Amino acid sequence: MSPFRTRFAPSPTFYLHLGHAASALHVWRRAADADGEVLLRIEDIDTTRCRPEYTAAIYEDLAWLGLTWPEPVRVQSEHFSDYEAVVEALTRRGLTYRCFRTRSALAELPDPRRPGPHAPDEETELLDGGGPFARRLSLSACREELGDAWEALSFTERTPQGLVTRTADPMCEGDLVLARKDSPSAYHVAATHDDALQGVTDIIRGEDLIDAPHVQTLLQTLMGWPAPVYEHHSLVLDETGQKLSKRQQSISLASLRADGMTADQIRSRLGFS
């Protein structure tokens, strides 16, 4: 049996908030209970929103909380070629297609999640026009390639009641975007690739990503990657019952620290005293 290895993988699109602190503390505690380790990974594939100062703040905030991790830290923006190779491999097998449709055009389709490829003549014209396109995973092509293995897709989730095997349903995500012109890799490609590369045995993250294993299981099967155990924890909510959000610029750990709050107070507030 492989040693327990998990990861904490924030995206530096803003400063970490209490929700991130709760997730990090939960992940490190689970690893300690299992006599395992936590890898830190910086998931900065969003080149338009990620900033160096937010990355620096991640290291500072986690160290302030008393958390440690092995070096070197994998920074995804330094490995775009790895993720491009995954997309190219899937494309060579006929499992992807170009999608030039805008959001408004997708919204007009019967099933916007599965737009399907353009007609050959239309695609040629669009390519000649030089417009941006997304590279999507064709679920119909994947299903044809896998055959009976499609129906057998499943993943293991750790729940309060123990380990549970769940049927994977990639259709819930539709024809996944694998890459765009302004982003060489989508989240699922980079994260699933790196979990396999780094030998992650257990993925512990918030319940807002509870549907992610469905499509990640498909990618693991297509690429021959090992399947980790998944675990999803509850989220920290604000006074309105909504999850804390970087997009809404929820109060950051840096600002709480600047106001004089200690790491012990943060731990106590989040139930990790």
pLDDT in tens, 200-222: 999 999 999 999 999 999 999 99
Q: Determine the pLDDT at residue 1.
A: 56
Q: CA–CA separation, 197 vs 223, rounded Å?
A: 12
Residues across the chain:
273
Half-sphere exposure of 50 (CA within 13 A, CB side): 17
pTM score, two decimals?
Answer: 0.93
Q: Determine the pLDDT at residue 229.
A: 99
State yes or no: pLDDT of 266 exceeds 80: yes
Q: Determine the pLDDT at residue 181.
A: 81
Do 229 and 158 meet the contact criterion of CB atoms below 8 Å apart?
A: yes
State yes or no: pLDDT of 2 exceeds 80: no
State yes or no: pLDDT of 248 exceeds 90: no
Q: Output b/e per residue, 34-56; b: 16+ Cβ within 10 A.
A: eeebbbbbbbbbbeeebeeebbe
Q: CA–CA separation, 178 vs 26, rounded Å?
A: 30
Q: CA–CA separation, 209 vs 212, rounded Å?
A: 5
Compute the average pLDDT of residues 93-115.
Answer: 93
- Helix%, strand%, coil% for the chain, nearest 5: 40, 20, 40
- Return the biggest CA–CA distance within the chain: 63
Compute the average pLDDT of residues 18-23.
Answer: 96
Parallel, antiparallel, or unpaired for β 229-233 and 202-206? parallel
Query: How many other C-beta atoms are found inside a 10 Å radius of the C-beta of residue 93?
Result: 12
Q: Determine the pLDDT at residue 251.
A: 85
Q: Determine the pLDDT at residue 136.
A: 98
Beta strands, E only, the chain: 5-8, 37-42, 74-75, 96-99, 134-137, 154-159, 162-167, 177-180, 202-206, 229-233
Q: CA–CA separation, 49 vs 180, rounded Å?
A: 15
